[in-house]
Amino acid sequence: AQRVTQPEKLLSVFKGAPVELKCNYSYSGSPELFWYVQYSRQRLQLLLRHISRESIKGFTADLNKGETSFHLKKPFAQEEDSAMYYCAPPTPPGNNRKLIWGLGTSLAVNP
């Protein structure tokens, strides 16, 4: 299986502090990766896709092929950023159907 891993289950920061949610992948070739966010009691929704290189809600993510990473970053965390974040492969997966999502990182931004 080609796998996406998120090493941190829980990340706690103070409001205004920088935040980085880590994501690593084990793909070969050129990966496509996404960040999804799940706010409390809401559905998962797309936050960022790597191909667009856009910034959403102050978050950015850069694909680093050398480190096989796609870390999510925000310079100044806000309390409303508290949520569950998933790093995810593309869907549908293409030739290899076995693609494993990251386990998710729960971000808590404290006042």
- The answer to the question of residue 51 lying near another protein (CB under 8 A) is yes
DSSP structural state of residue 109: E
- The answer to the question of residue 100 lying near another protein (CB under 8 A) is yes
Phi first, then psi: give them for residue 104, nearest 5 degrees: 95, 150
- The answer to the question of residue 22 lying near another protein (CB under 8 A) is no
- Cα Rg of the chain (Å, integer): 14
- The answer to the question of residue 45 lying near another protein (CB under 8 A) is yes
Question: What is the rounded distance in angstroms from the CA atom of residue 100 to the CA atom of residue 25?
Answer: 10
Q: Which residues bind another protein (CB under 8 A)?
A: 9, 32, 34, 36, 42-46, 49, 51, 86, 88, 90-92, 97, 100-104
